[in-house]
Amino acid sequence: MKKLLNGRIAVVGVAVTAIVAFFSFKSGDDRNFQIAKNLDIFNAIVKELDMFYVDTIDPNKTIREGIDNMLFTLDPYTEYFPEEDQSELEQMIKGSFGGIGSYITYNTKLKRSMISEPFEGTPAAKAGLKAGDILMEIDGKDLAGKNNAEVSQMLRGQAGTSFKLKVERPNVRGGRTPMEFTIVRESIQNPAIPYAAVLDNHVGYINLSTFSGNPSKEFKKAFLDLKKQGATSLVIDLRGNGGGLLDEAVEIANYFLPRGKVIVTTKGKIKQASNTYKTLREPLDLDIPVAVLVNSGTASASEILSGSLQDLDRAIVVGNRTFGKGLVQVPRSLPYGGTMKVTTSKYYIPSGRCVQAIDYKHRNEDGSVGTIPDSLTKVFHTAAGREVRDGGGVMPDIVIKQEKLPNILFYLVRDNLIFDYATQYCLKHPTIVAPEKFEVTDADYNDFKALVKKADFKYDQQSEKILKTLKEAAEFEGYMADASEEFKALEKKLNHDLDRDLDYFSGDIKKMIASEIIKRYYYQRGNIIQQLKDDDGLKEAVKILNDPVKYKEMLSAPVAKK
């Protein structure tokens, strides 16, 4: 790996380059003058710090922080990747990396990382690693004191290389059993389609998790397989899909739209950043009814697919307003093996609208940013004449009320209590029934409650915090004397009661426990099946797909009022 041999030489070299550039500009070019002037000032500051600052500065660290802060003032997507971080950028673009194929989490009590979710068919799963395994050593190096990012970096490496991993696995006696594995790293590609199936009433379902890699190929195969199995309508689930490659979104849209349709247009400052992307092939199916599930985690390429299908009246969009990322990034090569991922343009879907929700150019006085207010958004129209708006993601045709998870559930997950219970459950149950039939019984839940109480579980109650603030305000404004009895009664009713909360929110907690247990046996596929059991968004999508008259009406031009 290339390294800077001497920080001072590098800094002086850059300064000289900037000075030469400074004198090469025309005096009348004020913009170039300002750039050269500020580059000269920046380099002079670095030189002065290196020569005179009381402590020796690390030029790589100091300048890197300066670069990162400069780029952050633009938008969070313009990033610098030095040579040693190129694998991270490659993973972002291709959706693949060399590693073992598992999520890891940090155990705050043990101060060590542990396996949280091995992916099906990856080296982690093949070797026999299980959720709950505490990571002790990698090739003899103790992992104590290392955070998740450091451990993750050690687990990754070139595909085909091997290493020895020592873990400690919880056992039924309450202790931990030392184990050692020899693992060969592979190129890990997160599955673009972790689950696809034909549901009731011949409704096909495809969960599309990413647009990185080559998901269009997987999508085509999954869709054609579902049609062979009898699917007569389709749900595309893009919830939580943060995007990826623009071309892949266009390709998948092409499966349901005629050749020659404009899917997205990019517009930037320079000519090379402005392009129009059209469907280039014959479609797979122009007639099958389609519904697309979206939420606030649906972003970028996912918004291109869902938004273009909405703008061209080809699908009903169901769920919640999408994230609102309408900015396009491209990689630009830099000296010394570095790369900058830079925002070069905005994208516009067929109606002409841009879904970008945050205006990074016009910041508040304190530097913060905010979403574009609804009052400043503009009305556009779909191909059939339906009204849609810009400035804030894709608004669904059918909005689903967002489920609010109870406060206690956040703390149960944060303290790894649901995770620890699932680990114990799996030690006692070598197998479980299929995900479709699995459920957490009352007896199982009683065992979980016992584990929570034994752990001396503590959590914040928002009602108690708000009541305390209200009391302070009442005292400050002089109302406390007259309202003291009412406050006492309210305090009694809002008293912290763990038993009551565990019983009252048992439905939500049981669902989370079931998901954690099922993915130990059936991986991501099983977890998705569990989550779809009581899914309001899916229910609405299936409902509209099973009503051809309503489906056609929703995608048609609005009837003019007399």
Catalytic residue among 237, 311, 397, 420: 311
Catalytic residue among 216, 300, 308, 345: 300
Provide φ and ψ at 379, rounded to 5°: -90, 130
Nearest CA to 187 out of 97, 115, 313 is that of 97
Catalytic residue among 166, 325, 511, 519: 325
- CB contact at 8 A, 131 and 422: yes
- CB contact at 8 A, 181 and 216: no
Nearest CA to 132 out of 424, 415, 444, 510 is that of 424
- CB contact at 8 A, 513 and 422: yes
Residues near 456 by beta carbon (within 8 Å), at least 6 away in sequence:
none
b vs e for 37-74, b when ≥16 Cβ sit within 10 Å of the residue's Cβ?
eebeebbeebeeebeeeeeebebeebbeeeeeeebeee
- CB contact at 8 A, 139 and 163: yes
Q: Cα torsion for 87, 89, 93, 98, to the nearest 10°?
A: 20
Q: Round to whole Å and give the CA distance between 522 and 83.
A: 38
Residue identified by tokens 């699932």 is: 422
Q: Show the tokens assigned to 372.
A: 């574009």
Query: Is 311 a residue of the active site?
Result: yes
Question: Which residues pair with residue 102 across a beta bridge?
Answer: 118
The residue type found at 256 is F
Provide φ and ψ at 249, rounded to 5°: -65, -40
Q: Cα torsion for 499, 505, 511, 515, to the nearest 10°?
A: -60
Question: Which residues pair with residue 168 across a beta bridge?
Answer: 134, 178
DSSP, collapsed to helix, strand or coil, labels residue 132 as: coil
Distances (CA, A) of 492 to 163, 311, 408, 474, 488: 58, 54, 19, 18, 6
| DSSP of 472-511 | HHHHHHT-HHHHHHHHHHHHHHT---HHHHHHHTHHHHHH
DSSP state of 97: E
Query: Is 492 a residue of the active site?
Result: no
- CB contact at 8 A, 89 and 341: yes
Kindly report each contact of residues 165-168 with a partner whose C-beta sits within 8 Å and lies 24 or more positions away, as own/partner.
Answer: 165/127, 165/129, 165/135, 165/137, 165/138, 166/136, 166/137, 166/138, 167/115, 167/129, 167/133, 167/134, 167/135, 167/136, 168/133, 168/134, 168/136
Query: Is 325 a residue of the active site?
Result: yes
First to last CA, the chain: 73
Catalytic residues: 300, 311, 325
